[in-house]
A and B are shown apart, each in its own frame.
Chain A
Amino acid sequence: MQKNIAGTEVEVDAEGYLTDMNQWSGDIANAIAEELHISPLSEKHWAVINWLREQTANGVELNIRKVGASGVVDIKEFYQLFPGGPLKNASKIAGLHKPTSCL
């Protein structure tokens, strides 16, 4: 379905995750983060978001352990940066699909 986020029409799934990561922009990330009450986004947030996008573009299936081993952020900080389900919320802000891993 279509949703207007930060003035742009984008394609999202029923839970509001972008279905095409190429439709994403920094403004969209800020708008989703605000909806999730995770704003303003800090430099550290952006570092995580960029890393998640990079990995997804390379076809990696993300999980929390991989984020912890990324060198960008440790697991404790990841939970603090994106409270209430870090990988889900970070993926949503990063314009990625909902994570599918059980780990």
Chain B
Amino acid sequence: MSESHKKEHQDHNRCHTCGQCKDCAACRCEPANGPALKKMMIIVSKASIDGIYAGLILANGARSEGIECDMFFTFFGLDAITKKRMEHLKVGLGGNPGMHMPEVIGVFPGMESVATHMMMKRMSELDIPPVPEFLDIIKAAGGRIFACKLAMEMFNLKREDMWDGVDEVLTVGQFYECYTPGSQIIFI
């Protein structure tokens, strides 16, 4: 922190909880007390629209707050970054009480598509982008997108099957190496 900035810093408005300066972006790096949230490391393991969008919204929200973000797609979450699947994601009906309908309705053919269509329509009205565009936005914002090596092997997926924007295929250990002080790891 420069001398002149240090001086300004004393007059700045501070958050009562974390002590962080609320007046300038530069102060974010050196909060007075306690660590600030610096990076979100989001692991997405589900293929349902709710699981994937939760991850994408958290990631995009982090970047737009000036917080770094890495996303790691594993198991069924790989669908979100698999070329032939990423535009055909569905809402999960089975075992999902949040859909507010009797479980048995979910077993009828086509119900999942109807529910998905309704939800996507509402999301588009709220200006929530489709998955490929959302990933593009996160990438343009400086977020990184990783695919899980083991899960790709399990599903017989090759690098060329994956979305072109994927930064790297990583092992769990390599993903943990992305940890820096002030990071939070979230599993969805």
Contacts and interface: CB of A to CB of B under 8 A. Distances in A.
A74 B133 CA distance: 13
A79 B64 CA distance: 8
Nearest to A77: B140
Given A75-B140, A103-B127, A64 B60 contact: yes
A15 interface: yes
B137 A64 contact: yes
Given A35-B8, A66-B127, A102-B61, A16 B22 contact: yes
A63 B126 CA distance: 11
A35 B142 contact: no
Contacts of B137: 64-65, 68, 75
A92 to B, nearest CB: 10
Interface in B2-26: 5, 8, 13, 22-26
Nearest to B133: A65
Interface stretch (A22-30, A47-55, A81-89): A81-89
B133 to A, nearest CB: 8
Interface of B: 5, 8, 13, 22-26, 28, 57, 60-61, 63-66, 126-129, 133, 137, 140-142
21 contacts: A14-B13, A15-B23, A16-B13, A16-B22, A35-B24, A64-B60, A65-B129, A68-B137, A74-B140, A75-B141, A76-B140, A79-B140, A79-B142, A84-B28, A85-B64, A86-B64, A87-B64, A89-B25, A101-B127, A103-B127, A103-B128
